[in-house]
Chain A
């Protein structure tokens, strides 16, 4: 019978085998030199979470500094380094690799039914590039820090006297290549390693999202790489292409930077959107609404993302003509986003919704992304952006989409696949509580920043006018609330690792292929070629009393087809 039940994982899962990817080989080197995409994914995840922690600590420091006008805990120089580091770490070390490289690496080949990604060695190499990039970034702290803002705008970045600029440029350059290789790997994997029956439109939407993301990673990141090279050459050898004192053009730098960094913001959000498609479908046990529209809209976002970069430069001295063109195109991205948003909402309609932790994260995502995306419209409109540009309004906008959507999506996905990755269940109540705390804290922190911004508080400000203080105080309180929430999440995960009950192979009742292999998956993912069905047809899931697990039973498919709707 197709019913809902919460997993009772204390019972041993019959399908779990003792030989899984975690236990397949042992020892440090077996991890460090592994070619197994699952292990690489786990290593990425650990590294990304550690970086998130570091970036979060910087966020707390800067929020603390902003508690009062003037000096609270540090000097202006230090503050500038704080937000630069916070931004750079969160963007380059955390959010860009988080979903594709960490979750994607783990999930993509299994979902696809492949044994591994196309180039396992390249995959490991890109992880080590990440490590090297992170090392350079951290080294820049020792070398004198850097205070350029995460955007490295010239000529400030080429003239600032802080010593860590070149190391961090090298670091970001290296990280860029890590990202390129991950994307390249995924495109080839999706193209060439699909098993029989896995057609493009049978692929789970997460894969479509990862595929679109990979296109952006491959095509946009090289431009960042060369831009950073030019910056390094500028600083070391005075080449002058971006330096107005030499006749160069700082606005050209901004064109280059945003040609990468605008697609980069969709590199962050599109995979999160993919995760949300999975979470909403699986946890409401309901065929995703408008599969093809969601799939196409991912690709559409990827394509449009390349031609809107100038909306970050409306006031930079960019010409009025280009401002107009870029503003117009910017709105085009709102359409595929709208399609997705409404499709997700419609998926809930007549679903069978379990309010699990991943579902809570998905709902938070919907709530926060709608706000974040809609405020993007304020920014994309030419005359309102004149007022809002470089104020806290923009800060709030991008935290709603980067933190409130991309990162929340990532954490939701982590909860979703956690039983698969670790083979352990977590404390559902605790996870849900943490999610709610984060949600409340988040809105406290960043909703006030919309007001701050539209009232005229510029961003990257160490000191501010006293009339803004009340907002800053609320915001800081929110940040600490969020910290408590994330701390709870961390405790929940650690507890699950230490003493969590064993996870069944399919705790949520998913249909896509990863739920049809053991938890944790064996070294080779699949011993037999998996059966590819409709990965959103939840009528084939059946609760199995004996193993206390959901079972995907393809025989049900036929039965249902004959019966029509079934209750």
Chain B
């Protein structure tokens, strides 16, 4: 156990101090959570053990190669020893002891990592191809993860479709999200960032989930408790607070940000059909559009499957695979449970006024048309 003693001392000495956040260094990014300290410590201890053994092996190798390098005509030496039991035993037993030590402290740290404190604040996280949704106890939803600082947070993770993983490098936490199960992870962040997106910590999807895997990144925005409480209240009501007639340009672009991964509004190709001209397509008869050969007009209209285009859009958002527009594949995830009627109203409203938006989905008109409210057909 001799070799593990320094380890034990190092560990207990350092973990006795209150865990502080760790600055970024050569290997690791900034550690902003209470857990980061222990993980980094372990990482660095292993690093030093590795440096040591690496140097030992490579130095011996280099010295021997230089020293016993044979020139032409050299006699073959036969005086080297061929085994040495003490040596063999020591280089089996010492690494074994070191390994047991590493395991033990890794294990201890891991228990801390997976055991959330009792007073966690819960955020419901749903991962889907290819995005995240963060839902708060008061019903608020958000695209980025916004959390209070100095308060343990537990993310309750669910997946709609395939495996994903929630990874926040700055907090040293990660957990796979398994469909058919509930998993969770917790952290407590010490360094607030404010609501500015560029200042937030990265949140990545770390389990391969297909085409948009690398787009599944968001920011973690950390607010002091009071600010957070205010944000939470405001966030819960954001759709309701917008007057009906302003929905399409205030809420529309926000919601479109999610759709924009696949649907353009300037006619360029995406994973899904462009929205450009969609309302005209939907309302003018003719032209086969679906992969089964049917046209919009076969589906939409009084007495048909959908009475109005709005109904069709709504259905496409809730059960996307039902009618496929040629030649696109069945790749759109459902947004059932994520967009309510007001959300869909904003989208259909936006679709009818696409000329007011630029290619990025930014509303370009300056003055809201106060008097002539956009009529929803």
Which B residues between 56 and 104 are near A, CB-CB below 8 angstroms? 57-58, 60-61, 64-65, 68-84, 87-88, 91-92, 95-96, 99-100, 102-103
Q: Which of A247, A328, A338 has the most CB of B within 10 A?
A: A338
Q: A50 at interface (Cβ–Cβ under 8 A)?
A: no
Q: Range of interface residues on chain B?
A: 35 or more
Q: A374 at interface (Cβ–Cβ under 8 A)?
A: yes
A50 and B213 alpha carbons, distance in the complex (Å): 31
The answer on a CB contact under 8 Å between B161 and A351 is no
The answer on a CB contact under 8 Å between A463 and B215 is yes
The answer on a CB contact under 8 Å between A377 and B46 is yes
A459 and B167 alpha carbons, distance in the complex (Å): 12
The answer on a CB contact under 8 Å between A3 and B76 is yes
The answer on a CB contact under 8 Å between B169 and A456 is yes
Min CB distance, B39 to chain A, in Å?
A: 5
* Stretch of B177-185, B245-253, B349-357 lying at the A interface: B177-185
Query: Can you name 7 A-B residue pairings with CB atoms under 8 Å?
Result: A6-B72, A286-B77, A293-B88, A342-B87, A366-B61, A377-B99, A536-B82
* Stretch of A177-185, A267-275, A313-321, A472-480 lying at the B interface: A313-321
- The digit string for A524-562, where 1 denotes a CB below 8 A from any CB of B, is 000000000000101101000000000000000000100
Known contacts A339-B91, A374-B50, A454-B43: A345-B57 contact under CB 8 Å: yes
Q: B165 at interface (Cβ–Cβ under 8 A)?
A: yes
Q: B163 at interface (Cβ–Cβ under 8 A)?
A: yes
The answer on a CB contact under 8 Å between A316 and B176 is yes
Q: A1 at interface (Cβ–Cβ under 8 A)?
A: yes
* Stretch of B202-210, B281-289, B305-313 lying at the A interface: B202-210
Q: B173 at interface (Cβ–Cβ under 8 A)?
A: yes
The answer on a CB contact under 8 Å between A5 and B72 is yes
Q: B106 at interface (Cβ–Cβ under 8 A)?
A: yes
The answer on a CB contact under 8 Å between A538 and B204 is no
Closest to B181 in A: A317
The answer on a CB contact under 8 Å between B102 and A377 is yes
The answer on a CB contact under 8 Å between A315 and B176 is yes
- The digit string for B204-228, where 1 denotes a CB below 8 A from any CB of A, is 1111111111110100000000000
The answer on a CB contact under 8 Å between A458 and B206 is yes
A450 and B43 alpha carbons, distance in the complex (Å): 13
Q: A106 at interface (Cβ–Cβ under 8 A)?
A: no
A4 and B78 alpha carbons, distance in the complex (Å): 13
Closest to B213 in A: A460
Min CB distance, A343 to chain B, in Å?
A: 8
Q: Which residues on the B side are within 8 Å of A156 (C-beta)? A: 162-163, 208-210
Q: Which residues on the B side are within 8 Å of A76 (C-beta)? A: 211-215
Min CB distance, A435 to chain B, in Å?
A: 14
Closest to A285 in B: B76
Q: B110 at interface (Cβ–Cβ under 8 A)?
A: yes
Q: Which residues on the A side are within 8 Å of B181 (C-beta)? A: 244, 317
Which A residues between 510 and 524 are near B, CB-CB below 8 angstroms? none
Closest to A317 in B: B178
Q: Which residues on the A side are within 8 Å of B174 (C-beta)? A: 315, 386-387, 389-390
Known contacts A355-B65, A381-B102: A451-B27 contact under CB 8 Å: yes
Q: Which residues on the A side are within 8 Å of B213 (C-beta)? A: 76, 80, 460-462
Q: Which residues on the B side are within 8 Å of A380 (C-beta)? A: 103
| Residue among A291, A323, A345 making CB contact with B64, cutoff 8 Å | A345
| Residue among B27, B39, B57, B79 making CB contact with A366, cutoff 8 Å | B57
The answer on a CB contact under 8 Å between A539 and B78 is yes
* Stretch of A147-155, A203-211, A226-234, A488-496 lying at the B interface: A147-155
- The digit string for B250-286, where 1 denotes a CB below 8 A from any CB of A, is 0000000000000000000000000000000000000
- The digit string for A339-356, where 1 denotes a CB below 8 A from any CB of B, is 101110111111111110
Q: B139 at interface (Cβ–Cβ under 8 A)?
A: no
- The digit string for B142-169, where 1 denotes a CB below 8 A from any CB of A, is 0000000000000000000111010101
The answer on a CB contact under 8 Å between A245 and B179 is yes
The answer on a CB contact under 8 Å between B110 and A382 is yes
A382 and B207 alpha carbons, distance in the complex (Å): 18
Q: B42 at interface (Cβ–Cβ under 8 A)?
A: yes
Q: Which residues on the B side are within 8 Å of A384 (C-beta)? A: 39, 42-43, 46, 106
The answer on a CB contact under 8 Å between B92 and A334 is no
Closest to A347 in B: B80
The answer on a CB contact under 8 Å between B65 and A345 is no
Q: B348 at interface (Cβ–Cβ under 8 A)?
A: no
| Residue among B53, B173, B202, B205 making CB contact with A370, cutoff 8 Å | B53
| Residue among B74, B165, B173 making CB contact with A3, cutoff 8 Å | B74
| Residue among B26, B92, B180, B215 making CB contact with A339, cutoff 8 Å | B92
Q: Which residues on the B side are within 8 Å of A374 (C-beta)? A: 49-50, 53-54
A103 and B66 alpha carbons, distance in the complex (Å): 30
Q: A197 at interface (Cβ–Cβ under 8 A)?
A: no
The answer on a CB contact under 8 Å between A349 and B75 is no
Q: Which residues on the A side are within 8 Å of B329 (C-beta)? A: 161
A-side residues, CB < 8 A to B, are: 1-6, 76-77, 80, 147, 149, 153, 155-156, 159-161, 244-245, 247-251, 284-293, 315-317, 320, 323-324, 327-328, 331-332, 334-335, 338-339, 341-343, 345-355, 363, 366-367, 370-371, 374-375, 377-378, 380-384, 386-387, 389-391, 450-451, 454-456, 458-465, 509, 536, 538-539, 541, 560, 565-567
Min CB distance, A537 to chain B, in Å?
A: 9
Q: Which residues on the A side are within 8 Å of B107 (C-beta)? A: 324, 327-328, 382-383
A363 and B212 alpha carbons, distance in the complex (Å): 42
Q: B29 at interface (Cβ–Cβ under 8 A)?
A: yes
Min CB distance, A369 to chain B, in Å?
A: 9
Min CB distance, B217 to chain A, in Å?
A: 8
Min CB distance, A94 to chain B, in Å?
A: 21
A149 and B211 alpha carbons, distance in the complex (Å): 12
Q: B141 at interface (Cβ–Cβ under 8 A)?
A: no
Closest to B43 in A: A384
The answer on a CB contact under 8 Å between B43 and A247 is no
A90 and B107 alpha carbons, distance in the complex (Å): 33
The answer on a CB contact under 8 Å between A378 and B43 is yes
The answer on a CB contact under 8 Å between A320 and B76 is no
A386 and B78 alpha carbons, distance in the complex (Å): 50
| Residue among A290, A383, A509, A565 making CB contact with B106, cutoff 8 Å | A383
The answer on a CB contact under 8 Å between A456 and B57 is no
A456 and B31 alpha carbons, distance in the complex (Å): 11
The answer on a CB contact under 8 Å between A289 and B78 is no
Q: Which residues on the B side are within 8 Å of A375 (C-beta)? A: 50
Q: Which of A4, A320, A560 has the most CB of B within 10 A?
A: A4
The answer on a CB contact under 8 Å between A1 and B209 is no
Q: B344 at interface (Cβ–Cβ under 8 A)?
A: no
Q: B233 at interface (Cβ–Cβ under 8 A)?
A: no
The answer on a CB contact under 8 Å between B57 and A342 is yes
A147 and B111 alpha carbons, distance in the complex (Å): 35
Q: B28 at interface (Cβ–Cβ under 8 A)?
A: yes
Q: B189 at interface (Cβ–Cβ under 8 A)?
A: no
Min CB distance, A174 to chain B, in Å?
A: 25
The answer on a CB contact under 8 Å between B76 and A352 is yes
A6 and B73 alpha carbons, distance in the complex (Å): 9
The answer on a CB contact under 8 Å between B69 and A363 is no
Q: B190 at interface (Cβ–Cβ under 8 A)?
A: no
The answer on a CB contact under 8 Å between A349 and B214 is no
Q: B38 at interface (Cβ–Cβ under 8 A)?
A: yes
Known contacts A323-B110, A339-B92, A370-B57: A244-B180 contact under CB 8 Å: yes
Known contacts A80-B211, A342-B57, A345-B60: A382-B68 contact under CB 8 Å: no
